Amino acid sequence: MDMKRAFYIGRFQPFHLGHYSVITSIAKEVDELIIGIGSAQRTHESNNPFTAGERVMMIRHALEDIDVHFYALPIDDIQQNPIWVSYVTSRTPPFDTAYTNNPLVIELFEEAGISVKQPPMYHREQHSGTEIRRRMLADEEWKHLVPDAVADVIDEIDGVRRLKRVSGTDGFDY
């Protein structure tokens, strides 16, 4: 089982076409791709409306036809930075390379001796979770910015309604 495996992490709130294009690009270079779903424990917040399980389902269906083995796995935020890498590696198949543009993640992986590559950037203005969530709240078009399967998942879970509900609050602000 001698394989080239890579790790790529995002929050995927929701998974969109920008993520999709990065992943298809990385997929050409590896045998297997581990997709880490960051801030997995966060959900029902205006910036994080979807659960880890819902995000897993989005990714699973959006990448149905992609030509690489992939894993979609929740990664919780760990408050102590230096142990984050070992937390990740204990919850994922072994991998050789991490793809990320986040400076902290780069630093942590490199201090741990794991090689880092910067993935190609996608057009950030449109293909961003922030923009998509803004459109959902404003009842503007958003489905063309995500894979069809993701739109289906968000419909199944009535995700736009939930986003609107939780956006009217600042957490447990009794």
Q: Which residues bind a second copy (CB under 8 A)?
A: 1-2, 9-11, 38-45, 51-54, 56-57, 60-61, 69, 71-74, 77, 79-87, 89-94, 100, 102-108, 111-113, 149, 152-153, 155-157, 162, 165-166, 168-169, 171-174
C-beta of 91 vs 134, nearer to a second copy? 91
Rounded Cα gap, residues 12 and 47, in angstroms: 11
> In the complex, what is the shortest distance from the CB of residue 13 to a second copy, in angstroms, rounded to a whole number?
9
Which residue has tokens 């590896």? Answer: 30
Contact 60, 33 (CB under 8 A): no
Rounded Cα gap, residues 62 and 15, in angstroms: 8
> In the complex, what is the shortest distance from the CB of residue 144 to a second copy, in angstroms, rounded to a whole number?
18
**3-state SS, residue 70:** strand
C-beta of 135 vs 157, nearer to a second copy? 157
C-beta of 67 vs 80, nearer to a second copy? 80
Amino acid symbol at 136: M
> In the complex, what is the shortest distance from the CB of residue 140 to a second copy, in angstroms, rounded to a whole number?
21
Per the DSSP assignment, residues forming a β-bridge with 99 are: 8, 117
> In the complex, what is the shortest distance from the CB of residue 82 to a second copy, in angstroms, rounded to a whole number?
4
Rounded Cα gap, residues 55 and 12, in angstroms: 7
C-beta of 6 vs 56, nearer to a second copy? 56
Nearest 5 degrees, angle CA 157-CA 132-CA 148? 55
Rounded Cα gap, residues 13 and 25, in angstroms: 20
C-beta of 47 vs 135, nearer to a second copy? 47
> In the complex, what is the shortest distance from the CB of residue 4 to a second copy, in angstroms, rounded to a whole number?
13
